[in-house]
Structure 1
């Protein structure tokens, strides 16, 4: 099978973002004042923080605090936290539900050929773009071809597409170079947004002036960088509107989680999208809030250097896996909001399975394995690196150090800027770190991303920073990928075999899958977290409960 030529290019942008801990922007505290409003607003508008006038008093405004700054307004280039806004302004062909199944968006139905090479999407009639133009097959082709031709952001997710054609006014056909689950690509949170054909002809500069032309329920009314985004309802939205839905959404950019919590408690905002884990119990005990707790597609692994003594010995790696107190790591690293991982595919992401094995905390078993490997008293040292920006890793790294110290293994914890940590790891494995802490999430909702990026054989290290290479494993996951669209049961069977090979070979410690909590005031209804769109909250379904 053709290897994914750009599948590993989740890249520095993605991982640098996630390694930055609770703040999606690297240095929000450095922004002392926003640029002048006249240079940044999409259109003249009243300051949303003013007292409502008689004319606007009846408007229903959803007030939100978020950390999500905007790196670009171009839907083809978006690959960062502006996904919060993209998912409310634009729509893809299909959505992926929280349970991993699919539902129509701009395409009402779709089918795939028996060989998995041809995907056909039938579009929804009567859909308007915000600029007044009408959705048709040419608009879909223009949108995706623009993204592919630009080649920025996550455009590589369309790598398997050989051609896109408008079969008729409302039908689009994709022909692929290899069988592939294109539904997961078409539902991606990046690089899959459909824009007006007029906008598809524009360059990025037009979008960066805070212009947009989506089909989503919300239009961009105004934008003040690193301060505020105002969305207003698109009256011609194909989904329609009810009286209890909001007229506007005002999102304030608040980098500090503690401040967001204070704003939510004080009634300054209706939703706060990034809160300190320490506030979980307080909100749960507050009768004015319903606290939602959900799985995410983020998980922590500790990649072990399989090319360097003594970790090139599988028994040593297994011993270390038995030495880890996983429950303590979840408690300290995530404040209890997580669960021990079963391999590198987190709970809730295809092809996760409870049939994948899992190590338990068993120090005696660890000592037995070390003795069998020729290290009865430990007696060796390891260097553990983690991203200095990642507060969770900073908290749980000492637990790993202390657990291995009980076996006579000395661990030096070396915090590094993510870019430096990654650069060192991509060098000669013989000179690299021994343990590399990593927080990972997939670009599209398919665990092949995790399984391939971190563990598929590589000629030169990129994200396989355990330097693991097992041809049998590679063959299993590559074959499973080809079967996902046409024979998912067989694909899952092969994936389970592959993941259990990983557990047996122990090229990494599979630490924990994260969970997220969000308190929602009781006067709101319709909120739902979708792990497949981790940076997005969908405002359209949220309504007043009373």
Structure 2
């Protein structure tokens, strides 16, 4: 029997046994996640499993990147913008059967802020200086200054049981949230299984009996599986896979402009990247369009610090002088800075095909400017560990984007920011970022972040490479799935498998 007929047989037996409502959706991803704690994870394969599926937050982001109610059904804001009072949904329970209350919300915020936990999300809630449990269904936050992106930032802070406030181990292996699916099983090198949460607070959701995230390292196997029906969904696929699957019978490739971006990170605590001129020269050595054509099959646009999907914020990269793709000028800039050539460096590479392809092209382009780079291909656990510990000269990776500039800029570029692994510190940038998060006028905020983008584009610790198209391959038996620009699988609650 062929793989295709086996897959269709399995899908049919699932549907016949329990109908569309009772089906389990099989999803294929390329590797096992590094962990499942929503306050600690950074890797795509962790985030795509837990965020919105196992965990929820006070607010949420819809398909159009608008802030909408989440676990908080409403909120009040004081006239001075310093006090936010959130009114929680009633009847929400955690997967362990306990009631979700304001105490859990307060503990979750404190957990993210804790230096012991060391959450990469800490900068998103750092302006919250007071947390008051008014009653079981009401929590009040006091800010040290107006914080324009607070509602958007809170959408990324999962609410966990209060007893987990000081526990930094349990949730990595056994997550407990309020989402539509609860954790069932983790088979190393096999899959993570989630089951429908019968007591989910939204009546009639989810429609699936469960979701199984299968770890399938081989791209060809994932492709054959989604065509055959073994897998209903391939989220966040690379452009090469998307190109190969487009036009295949029984598969639809959904596409949207990605908030996420590919990048080359530079450690500014190490020579020669402690010199802004060297960082500018490295940017100047890159031909971003050539990278997009070669590594992303043309599916992307040259990246500035903000995605063009953020139409209210992003500047056109064509105005950045260091985006000239001029290796000779880059070499001259290095020589003027007194840097001995060639500059010998290592580059850690995220274990994704697009990152590997980008790394090889960057290696070739940079060599023409005098950068001699050794590529270090790593498994995801080691890559994340070295990233967190700032153990790199350079790295090639992909980062998730956010609807508000503060959520990316403050944690990444502010001195001491929670994901500022680059060791970057600039007094002017810090001042602008403080001003940007406290300014509530949209026009004034735009002017501030225009300045930030112009400086970071050439002198910052990140060479932004490309904003690609986000692709997800969907077997035609899967109904109700919608792709979100932030890469979350939020729409799984509405998914059914057709007969």
> TM-score of the superposition, structure 1-length normalised?
0.71
| 2:343 pairs with one of 367, 382, 388 | 382
- Classify the secondary structure of the residue corresponding to 1:258: helix
Q: In structure 2, how many angstroms separate the alpha carbons of the residues matched to 1:185 and 1:303?
A: 26
Where does 1:432-451 land on structure 2 (aligned, <5 Å)? Answer: 436-439=394-397, 441=399, 446-448=404-406, 450-451=408-409
Shift of 1:481: 2.0
| 1:542 alignment partner in structure 2 | 495
Aligned-partner Cα distance in 1 for 2:172–2:456: 44
Q: Are 1:162 and 2:129 matched, yes or no?
A: yes
Distance 1:456 1:320 in 2: 22
Contact 1:340 / 1:512 at 8 angstroms: preserved in 2? yes
Greater share of helix? 2
* Residue 494 of structure 2 is aligned to residue 494 of structure 1: no
Cα offset, 1:178, TM superposition = 3.8
- CA distance, structure 2, for counterparts of residue 50 and residue 525 of structure 1: 15
* Residue in structure 2 matching 1:66, options 26, 29, 53: 29
The answer to whether the aligner puts 1:472 opposite 2:428 as a matched pair is yes
CA shift digits 1:66-113 (9 cap, x unpaired): 346355555555555443135312321111234432011111122333
3-state SS in 2 of match to 1:512: strand
How far does residue 404 in structure 1 lie from its aligned partner after superposition?
5.8
1:29-178 to 2 correspondence within 5 Å? 56=18, 59-67=22-30, 69=32, 71-72=34-35, 80=43, 81-83=45-47, 84-145=49-110, 151-154=117-120, 156-157=122-123, 158-178=125-145
In structure 1, the residue matched to 2:421 is: 463
Query: Mean alpha-carbon deviation: is it higher for 520-529 or for 68-77?
Result: 68-77
1-side partners of 2:459 and 2:38: how far apart? Answer: 41
Kept in 1: contact 2:238–2:471 (CA 8 A): no
Distance (whole Å) between structure 2 residues aligned to residue 77 and residue 301 of structure 1: 22
What does residue 512 of structure 1 align with? 466
CA deviation profile, 1:440-491 (whole Å, cap 9, x unmatched):
52697643454456555679x96336x6x653333222211222xx333311
Q: Does 1:353 align with 2:331?
A: no
Q: How much has 1:225 moved relative to structure 2?
A: 3.7
Where does structure 1 lack aligned partners over 5 or more consecutive residues? 1-47
Cα distance change on mapping 1:417 and 1:220 into 2, 3 Å = closer
Deviations 1:422-455 (A, max 9, x none): 69x969xxxx96xx34435269764345445655
State the secondary structure of the residue aligned to 1:216: coil
Any gaps of 5 or more consecutive residues in structure 2?
A: 1-9
Question: In structure 2, which of residues 130, 155, 159 is the aligned counterpart of residue 193 of structure 1?
Answer: 159
Please, which of 224, 241, 244 is the counterpart of residue 282 of structure 1?
244
CA deviations on 1:407-433 (whole Å, 9 max, x unpaired) are xx433122236779969x969xxxx96
The alignment yields a C-alpha RMSD, in angstroms, of 4.5
Equivalents in 2 of 1:311, 1:75: separation in Å? 33
Name the counterpart of 1:224.
187
Alignment partner, residue 438 of structure 2: 482
SS at match of 2:292: helix
Distance (whole Å) between structure 2 residues aligned to residue 250 and residue 478 of structure 1 = 42
Work out the CA distance in 2 between the residues paired with 1:415 and 1:507.
Answer: 19
Alignment of 1:420-435 (within 5 A): none
State the alpha-carbon separation in 2 of the partners of residues 71 and 403 from structure 1: 32
* Residues 93 and 106 in structure 1, CA contact (< 8 A), matched pair in contact too: yes
For the Cα contact (< 8 Å) 1:338–1:512, is it kept in 2? yes
Distance apart, 1:516 and its partner CA: 2.6
Pick the structure with greater CA Rg.
Answer: 1
- Quick one: distance in 1 between partners of 2:255 and 2:331? 39
- Measured at CA, do residues 287 and 359 of structure 1 come closer, stay the same or move farther in structure 2, by a change above 3 Å? farther
Aligned to 2:484, the other structure's residue is in SS state coil
What is the aligned residue count?
474
Q: 1: CA distance between counterparts of 2:59 and 2:276?
A: 46
Relative distance call for 1:521 and 1:163 in structure 2 (3 A) is same
